[in-house]
Amino acid sequence: MRLVVARCTVDYDGRLSAHLPEAVRLVMVKADGCVAIHADGGAYKPLNWMNAPNTLRDEGERWVVTNKQGETLTIHLHEVLSDHEHELGDDPGLQKDGVEAHLQELLAAAPHAIEPGLTLVRREYPTAIGPVDLVCRDADGAVVAVEVKRRGEIDGVEQLARYIERLQLDSSLGAIRGVFVAQVVKPQARVLAESRGFRWVEVDYDELRGLRPDDLRLF
């Protein structure tokens, strides 16, 4: 990973245009090619970014990042304050909490609960950026990537989008669509999922476990 702290301006050209005026920011270049520009606030979300796969042309004070759709992210480095590279090595991935892990396990055993006719291809399907929770095929034989969360928020939708980008590099899979599954899907996540062409589904954990309300007891 390369971390550059610099006074910079950033311009995005693609489906729309966006400009970040001159300021000190963190430019992060990950080993998978993802480029993200962060400010000193705003929690984890970058001000602008370009997901992999892409190409980065380093012209010294000017970087141009271009993705396969022809969108560009141009970074002008007016003053570099820090420039470091770090080898992070392989990451074991996020360890899901008990409920989320069990929810994924239950859905792998009963994918029809997500969508009628869905059959499991593989749970924890490997990609270069981490495993897809479930990869299935629908009734027509098309590949369906499923991301499972206990609480469905926008970062989960973004995660699904990144996984689908990686899966699309394998031409043998054909067309791939995404389904975002959670016990509760937040309104913002619903809007983002629909804008990305994904379905979203809310599932009942207790129902999947085969429990009825009368079965629930404290002791």
Residue 105 and residue 47 share a domain: no
Task: Tell me what pLDDT residue 75 has.
Answer: 97
Total structural domains within the chain: 2
pTM metric for this prediction: 0.56
Quote the pLDDT of residue 93: 61
Quick check: 171 pLDDT over 90?
no
Given this model, what pLDDT does residue 212 score?
43
Q: Give the model confidence (pLDDT) of 173-219 as tens digits.
A: 999 999 999 999 999 999 999 999 999 999 988 888 874 444 433 33
Instruction: With H, G, I as helix, E, B as strand and everything else as coil, classify residue 40.
Output: coil
Of residues 94, 103, 200, 201, the one with CA closest to residue 150: 103
3-state SS class at 59 = coil
Tens of pLDDT, residue by residue over 32-46, are 889 999 998 876 789
Task: Classify residue 91: in a domain, yes or no.
Answer: no
**Among 85, 107, 136, which residue terminates a domain?**
85
Cα separation, 125 vs 136, in Å, equals: 10
Question: Edge-to-edge strands of the sheet including 48-50?
Answer: 48-50, 35-38, 17-29, 2-13, 72-85, 62-67, 54-58
**139 part of a folded domain:** yes
Q: Within this chain, do residues 202 and 160 fall inside the same structural domain, yes or no?
A: yes
At residue 180, the pLDDT reads 97
* DSSP of 115-145: STT-EEEEEEE--TT--EEEEEE-TTS-EEE
Q: Do 170 and 77 belong together in one domain?
A: no
Strands 143-152 and 176-185: parallel
Are 24 and 37 spatial neighbours (Cβ–Cβ below 8 Å)?
Answer: no
Question: What residues make up the domain containing 126?
Answer: 98-208
Q: What CA–CA distance (Å, rounded) separates 6 from 25? A: 6
pLDDT at residue 164 is higher than 70: yes
Give 106-148 pLDDT, tens digit per residue: 999 999 999 999 999 999 999 988 999 999 999 999 999 999 9
